[in-house]
Structure 1
Amino acid sequence: MLTHDPDLAKTARAGRPPHAVVVGAGLGGLAAAMRLGARGYRVTVLDRLDGPGGRGSCLWRDGHRFDLGPTIVTVPQVFRDLWRACGRDFDTDIDLRPLDPFYQIRWPDGSRYAARQDPEAMRAEVARLSPGDLRGFARFLRDSAARYRFGFEDLGRRPMHRAADLLKVLPRFAALRADRSVYAHVARRVRDPRLRMALSFHPLFIGGDPFRVTSMYTLVSHLESAFGVHYAIGGVAAIARAMTRVIEGQGGLLRFGAEVDEILLREGHAAGVRLTGGEILGADIVVSNADAGHTYDRLLRNAPRRRWTAPRLARARWSMGLFVWYFGTRGTRDLWPDVGHHTILNGPRYGGLVRDIFREGRLAQDMSLYIHRPSVTEPGVAPEGGDSFYALSPVPHLGHADPVDWATRAEPYRKAVQDVLEARLLPGLGQHLSASEVFTPETFRDRYLSPHGAGFSIEPRILQSAWFRPHNVSEEARGLYLVGAGTHPGAGLPGVIASAEVLERLVPDPVTARAP
Structure 2
Amino acid sequence: MPKDMENDSSQAIVIGAGLGGLAAAMRLGAKGYAVTVLDRLDLPGGRGSSVTQDGHRFDLGPTIITVPQVYESLWAACGRNFHEDIDLRPMDPFYEVRWQDGSTFTARQDTDAMLAEVARLSPRDVKGYKKFLKDSQRRYVVGFEGMVAKPMHRLWETIKVLPEFAVLRADRSILGLAKARVKDPRLQMALSFHPLFIGGDPRHVTSMYALVAYLEKEFGVHYAMGGVQAIAKAMARIVRAQGGVIRQGAEVDEILVQDDAAKGVRLNTGEQIRADLIVSNADAGHTYQHLLRNRQRKRWTDAKLKSRRWSMGLFVWYFGTKGTAQMWPDVGHHTITNAPRYEGLLKDIFIKGKLADDMSLYIHRPGKTDPSVAPEGDDTFYVLSPVPHLGFDKPVDWKAEAERYKAKVQAEVEKTLPGFAERISTEMVLTPENFRDRYLSPNGSGFSIEPRILQSAWFRPHNISEEAKGLYLVGAGTHPGAGVPGVISSAEVLAKMVPDAPVPVEMKVAAE
Q: Judge same fold: TM > 0.5, yes or no.
A: yes
> Which secondary structure state, in structure 1, belongs to the residue aligned with residue 335 of structure 2?
strand
Residues 348-387 of structure 1: matches in 2 within 5 Å?
Answer: 348-387=340-379
Alignment partner for residue 492 of structure 2, among 501, 506, 512? 501
Structure 2 distance, partners of 1:178, 1:481, is: 28
> Which secondary structure state, in structure 2, belongs to the residue aligned with residue 487 of structure 1?
coil
Q: Give, in angstroms, the shift of residue 4 of structure 1.
A: 7.6
Cα pair 2:6 2:274 within 8 Å, conserved = no
Cα pair 2:313 2:390 within 8 Å, conserved = yes
Q: Which residue of 2 is the match for residue 432 of structure 1?
A: 423
Structure 2 distance, partners of 1:267, 1:307, is: 18
Are 2:449 and 1:490 aligned? no
Structure 1 distance, partners of 2:317, 2:205, is: 27
Structure 2 distance, partners of 1:512, 1:494, is: 32
Alignment partner for residue 259 of structure 1, among 251, 261, 279? 251
Alignment partner for residue 92 of structure 1, among 78, 84, 89? 84
Once superposed, what is the RMSD of the aligned Cα atoms?
A: 1.4
| Cα gap change, 1:329 to 1:7, in 2 (>3 Å) | closer
Q: Write the letter of the residue equivalent to 1:471.
A: H
Structure 1 distance, partners of 2:113, 2:4, is: 58
Q: Which residue of 2 is the match for residue 286 of structure 1?
A: 278
Are 2:467 and 1:481 aligned? no
TM-score between both structures, scaled by the size of structure 1: 0.96
Residues 125-144 of structure 1: matches in 2 within 5 Å?
Answer: 125-144=117-136
Q: Which residue of 2 is the match for residue 159 of structure 1?
A: 151
> Which secondary structure state, in structure 2, belongs to the residue aligned with residue 472 of structure 1?
coil
Q: Provide the aligned length of Structure 1 versus Structure 2.
A: 504
Q: Which residue of 2 is the match for residue 34 of structure 1?
A: 26
Alignment partner for residue 381 of structure 2, among 382, 389, 393? 389
Cα pair 1:4 1:284 within 8 Å, conserved = no
Are 2:299 and 1:307 aligned? yes
Q: Which runs of 5+ in 2 are unaligned?
A: 505-512
> Which secondary structure state, in structure 2, belongs to the residue aligned with residue 149 of structure 1?
helix
Alignment partner for residue 226 of structure 1, among 185, 196, 218? 218
Q: Which residue of 1 is the match for residue 510 of structure 2?
A: none
Structure 2 distance, partners of 1:233, 1:366, is: 33
Q: Which residue of 1 is the match for residue 265 of structure 2?
A: 273
Structure 2 distance, partners of 1:2, 1:398, is: 43
Structure 2 distance, partners of 1:105, 1:507, is: 43
Q: Write the letter of the residue equivalent to 1:228.
A: G
Stretch of structure 1 that moved more, 315-324 or 380-389: 380-389
| Cα gap change, 1:501 to 1:4, in 2 (>3 Å) | farther
Residues 414-493 of structure 1: matches in 2 within 5 Å?
Answer: 414-422=406-414, 424-493=415-484
Structure 2 distance, partners of 1:22, 1:166, is: 27
Alignment partner for residue 55 of structure 2, among 60, 63, 74? 63
| Cα deviations by residue, 1:310-335 (Å, 9 ceiling, x for unpaired) | 00001010000000000110111111
Are 2:190 and 1:198 aligned? yes
Q: Which runs of 5+ in 1 are unaligned?
A: 9-16
Q: Which residue of 2 is the match for residue 13 of structure 1?
A: none
| Cα deviations by residue, 1:114-156 (Å, 9 ceiling, x for unpaired) | 0000111000000000011111100100110111111111111
Structure 2 distance, partners of 1:445, 1:22, is: 20
Q: Give, in angstroms, the shift of residue 176 of structure 1.
A: 1.1
Stretch of structure 1 that moved more, 445-454 or 145-154: 145-154
| Cα gap change, 1:6 to 1:30, in 2 (>3 Å) | closer
Q: Write the letter of the residue equivalent to 1:180.
A: R
Residues 161-200 of structure 1: matches in 2 within 5 Å?
Answer: 161-200=153-192
> Which secondary structure state, in structure 1, belongs to the residue aligned with residue 146 of structure 2?
helix
Q: Which residue of 2 is the match for residue 341 of structure 1?
A: 333
Q: Give, in angstroms, the shift of residue 362 of structure 1.
A: 0.1
> Which secondary structure state, in structure 2, belongs to the residue aligned with residue 32 of structure 1?
helix
Q: Write the letter of the residue equivalent to 1:489.
A: P
Structure 2 distance, partners of 1:48, 1:356, is: 33
> Which secondary structure state, in structure 2, belongs to the residue aligned with residue 171 of structure 1?
helix
Q: Write the letter of the residue equivalent to 1:20.
A: A
Q: Which residue of 1 is the match for residue 99 of structure 2?
A: 107
**How many percent identity over aligned positions?**
66
Structure 1 distance, partners of 2:43, 2:325, is: 30
> Which secondary structure state, in structure 1, belongs to the residue aligned with residue 286 of structure 2?
helix
| Cα gap change, 1:79 to 1:111, in 2 (>3 Å) | same
Q: Write the letter of the residue equivalent to 1:462.
A: I
Structure 1 distance, partners of 2:318, 2:7, is: 51
| Cα deviations by residue, 1:69-92 (Å, 9 ceiling, x for unpaired) | 000100011000000000000000
Structure 2 distance, partners of 1:311, 1:378, is: 46
Structure 2 distance, partners of 1:472, 1:28, is: 12
Dislocated runs of 4+, deviation >3 Å: 1-8
| Cα gap change, 1:6 to 1:248, in 2 (>3 Å) | closer
> Which secondary structure state, in structure 2, belongs to the residue aligned with residue 205 of structure 1?
helix
Cα pair 1:28 1:500 within 8 Å, conserved = yes
| Cα deviations by residue, 1:239-287 (Å, 9 ceiling, x for unpaired) | 0000000000000000000000000011111110000000000011000
